[in-house]
Amino acid sequence: MNLALFDFDGTITWKDMFTDFILFAVEHKRILFGRIFLIPVLIAYKLRILSASRTREIAAGFAFRGRRFTDIQSLGRIFTNEVIPQYIRPEAFRKIQWHKSQGDKIVIVSASLDVYLKHWCNNNELELICTELEVKNGLITGKYYYGDCSGKEKAKRILKNYNIEDHKIIYAYGDTTEDNEMLDLANIKYFRWKQLNS
């Protein structure tokens, strides 16, 4: 059996779903306050003082801290059914279907959040490794369970969850430098839908 590893935002979708979900799931008042609160964070990110990984974590913490996990999960289900389908790349959908027809194990490996990606992967019968919001007593703490699933963390979690030696061919699909370590695990790799030389 072959293994196919897909990034989500920008690879399967043509738009960043992480930001869109925050805008979808957070009440208007908190968004307005957040725009002010997050200005220094966004400036630091643009100046490359703050990593994309840390920027996402701060934004998610501000957006969801203190919210009931079940409420955000329910919004994630709606987002999965009503919003995400508009942004799926046709070539990504075709490639996933091709891997299914080959009998390959398909895993989405993403820095995006579990509260919507779990629904999307369940709907499409795909396995998932992603960023998971920490929950205590039913409330989101504003932290992550295992950190942001990007860069080296992607490769680390893949190797933890799968014995890559068991797979004849490993495919990987990504679109940013945060996918490089995942791509390095693959025999056949695509960056922004162009095949790279191994």
pLDDT in tens, 95-140: 999 999 999 999 999 999 999 999 999 999 999 999 999 999 999 9
Is pLDDT of 90 > 70? yes
pLDDT tens digits for range 31-89: 666 666 666 666 676 767 766 777 788 888 888 999 999 999 999 999 999 999 999 99
pLDDT at 65: 92
* CB-based burial, 49-76: b 16+ in 10 Å, e otherwise: ebebbebbbbbbbbbbeebebeebbebb
In angstroms, the first-to-last Cα distance of the chain is: 20
What Å distances lie between residue 44 and 37, 52, 187, CA to CA? Answer: 13, 10, 36
CATH superfamily of 3-195: HAD superfamily/HAD-like (3.40.50.1000)
The answer to whether 170 and 156 have CB atoms below 8 angstroms apart is: no
